Amino acid sequence: MRPRGVVRELTVTDAAAYFDLRRRAHETDPHAFKPAVADDPGLSLTRIESTLTRDPRGTRACILGAFTRQLIGALGVFQDLDARDRAQLWGLYVTPEQRRAGLGLSLVSAACDRARGMNGVERLQLRVAVACPEAIRLFERFGFERSGSSGATAAAGRVDDDLWMVLELPDEAA
């Protein structure tokens, strides 16, 4: 299925739309997002604007957005500064009415491509709530493997376990 929309890197002009999308994500899927809405740095417009202007070429970090007429999904990717052979995916969200249209696939594919382009990255990691089996299956379609779980985390008055997943990126020179 061909997705209905386009995926591109967010810029500072997308900050307000991303702010609204993050708030909606917390409202529709609170079990999937940690920290809780009150503590989420992604829910500060100033912080979002700073994030979207810090690395304009996306060489170490970026937030990708899925658009139809408006921003309807997002996924972040960043290179770990302490272990430069790793990159992390975070914050995957597609609005409920746009799910199953292929945009999650497009976001994960674009994020994997971006990570492969980051100098020295050999492994892509993520944390996903066990309560999100559709997201787990999506990541498994790309070859992510379960690598462990973290202790329970409180979110929106609930306790959820997280699953760590990892994707080994092939050495392009091999």
With respect to residue 97, please indicate whether it lies within any of the assigned structural domains: yes
With respect to residue 137, please indicate whether it lies within any of the assigned structural domains: yes
Decide if pLDDT at 1 tops 60.
no
What is the tally of structural domains in the chain?
Answer: 1
Q: What is the span of the domain harbouring residue 128?
A: 6-168
With respect to residue 107, please indicate whether it lies within any of the assigned structural domains: yes
Q: What is the pLDDT of residue 105?
A: 93
**18: domain CATH number?**
3.40.630.30
With respect to residue 174, please indicate whether it lies within any of the assigned structural domains: no
With respect to residue 89, please indicate whether it lies within any of the assigned structural domains: yes
With respect to residue 147, please indicate whether it lies within any of the assigned structural domains: yes
Residues in the chain: 174
DSSP 169: P
CA 82 to chain centre: 19
pLDDT tier at 174, thresholds 50, 70, 90: very low
pLDDT digits (tens, 9 = 90+) for 81-137: 777 789 999 999 999 998 888 899 999 999 999 999 888 899 999 999 888 899 999
Residue pair 129/107 in contact by the 8 Å Cβ criterion: no
Q: What does the mean pLDDT of the chain come to?
A: 82
Residue pair 118/86 in contact by the 8 Å Cβ criterion: no
Instruction: List Cβ neighbours of 52 (8 Å cut-off, separation of 6 or more).
Output: 10, 11, 12, 14, 15, 18, 63
